[in-house]
Amino acid sequence: MNLTELNRIATAMVAPGKGILAADESSGTIKKRFDAIGVESTETNRRDYREMLFRAKEAMSQYISGVILYDETIWQDAADGTPLIKLIEQSGAIPGIKVDEGTQALPMCPGELVTVGLDKLAERLKRYYERGARFAKWRAVIDIGSGTDGRGIPSMTAISVNAHALARYAALCQAALIVPIVEPEVLMDGDHDIDRCYEVTSRVLNKTFQELRVQRVALEGMVLKPNMVVPGKKCPKQASVEEVAEKTIRLLKACVPAAVPGIAFLSGGQSDEEATAHLNAMHKLGPLPCPLPWGLTFSYGRALQAAPQKAWSGRPENVTAAQNAFSHRARMNGLASKGEWQSSLEKKAA
């Protein structure tokens, strides 16, 4: 393991004013996105869409530090024969790869899931590194139960097995000279309030870092991709932007070691502007009670892509408009990652 190189890459991934584009939707997920805009999810259409994003020069060169790819995408060539991964490299961004293989039901824990994909991961990482990937992503999914029937969710079993898998994945990545993005996502789908999210996320992060230490993962050579502390979508009382920012920062300071180079938030179902506003507000809190020890930025998928997908709608004549929409969202989040975003900028763009 070359920790100096891993740290260099991890630090570049969370550089001020830049963030990570999550373009790693599975075939099933991108089909749903394409269905919504009336586009058939063929390999060529998926290639054309992602090529359009990677050729958006303003966004990719100024606001995107890295791109998470799906297995299909990392092996694809652009229409002119250029490997898509080369387009990312030419923009100055770092190519990455999603390596988990989805989830399966967790035995003896009804309603809970465990992420799979550790089998033969070492061999896959070697191939991805040779292709040009320099970081990877593994997503663990933690649900919060709704109503009286869901009080036991998440169980400590679900938290433990997912944290253990995250740590094993991270150790394998570092052995392959690939920076691991560690993504323990507490979902916002339920009716829980913001304090319940805080409590569950605290348990998840604490267990995850405990397992990372057991697996001897070098914290200086990883990036954390957590959820923000938000109430569930079905909660009757939604939180203000300021409350989300304050509680998220308080939680991170309590749970995330200073050795971690950076934190890149997932959007987790928030709207485009909500995800931007929350990130911006965290940087506006000020150095209380002390300055943040790690870089704080974004690793968004839908919150960066919803607007360009709608603008594109599968039509070649819409490529420029779609790239402009992507560049706008990337710029807004780049500003938010420095605490320089203002809602008036969104209105001007509209």
Quick one: average pLDDT of 54-60?
96
**Which of 132-136, 145-149, 240-244 has the least mean pLDDT?**
145-149
Is 317 designated active site?
A: no
How large is the C-alpha radius of gyration of the chain?
Answer: 19
Q: Each residue of 6-16: b (16+ CB within 10 Å) or e? A: bbebbbbbbee
pLDDT in tens, 213-268: 999 999 999 999 999 999 999 999 999 999 999 999 999 999 999 999 999 999 98
Which residues are CB-contacts of 137 (< 8 A; sequence separation ≥ 6)?
Answer: 22, 24, 68, 96, 97, 98, 99, 100, 180, 181, 183, 225
For the chain, how many structural domains are there in total? Answer: 1
Residue 286 is predicted with a pLDDT of 62
Phi, psi dihedrals of residue 62, rounded to the nearest 5° = -105, -30
C-alpha distances out from residue 285 to 44, 100, 183, 209, Å:
45, 35, 24, 25
Active-site residue (options: 18, 98, 137, 225) = 225
Residue 112 is predicted with a pLDDT of 95
Residue 36 is predicted with a pLDDT of 94
Which residues are CB-contacts of 207 (< 8 A; sequence separation ≥ 6)?
Answer: 159, 160, 163
Quick one: average pLDDT of 188-193?
91
Active-site residue (options: 51, 112, 183, 185) = 183
pLDDT at position 350 over 50: no
pLDDT at position 348 over 60: no
Residue among 34, 25, 31 nearest 70 (CA): 25
pLDDT at position 53 over 90: yes
Domain that holds residue 255: 3-349
Percent of residues, the chain, with pLDDT higher than 90: 89
Q: Which residue has the higher pLDDT, 68 or 189?
A: 68
Percent of residues, the chain, with pLDDT higher than 70: 96
What average pLDDT does the structure give for the chain?
A: 94
pLDDT in tens, 2-44: 999 999 999 999 999 999 999 999 989 999 999 999 999 999 9
Please write down the HEC assignment for all residues of the chain: CCHHHHHHHHHHHCCCCCEEEEECCCHHHHHHHHHHCCCCCCHHHHHHHHHHHHCCHHHHHHCEEEEEECHHHHCCECCCCCEHHHHHHHHCCEEEEECCCCEEECCCCCCCEEECCCCCHHHHHHHHHHHCCCEEEEEEEECCCCCHHHCCCCCHHHHHHHHHHHHHHHHHHHHCCCEEEEEEEECCCCCCCHHHHHHHHHHHHHHHHHHHHHCCCCHHHCEECCCCCCCCCCCCCCCCHHHHHHHHHHHHHHHCCCCCCEEEECCCCCCHHHHHHHHHHHHHCCCCCCCCCCEEEEEECHHHHHHHHHHHCCCHHHHHHHHHHHHHHHHHHHHHCCCCCCHHHHHHHC
Is 225 designated active site?
A: yes
CATH number of the domain that 271 lies in?
Answer: 3.20.20.70
Quick one: average pLDDT of 175-179?
98
Q: Each residue of 76-111: b (16+ CB within 10 Å) or e? A: bebeeeebbbebbbebebbbbbbbbbebeebeebee
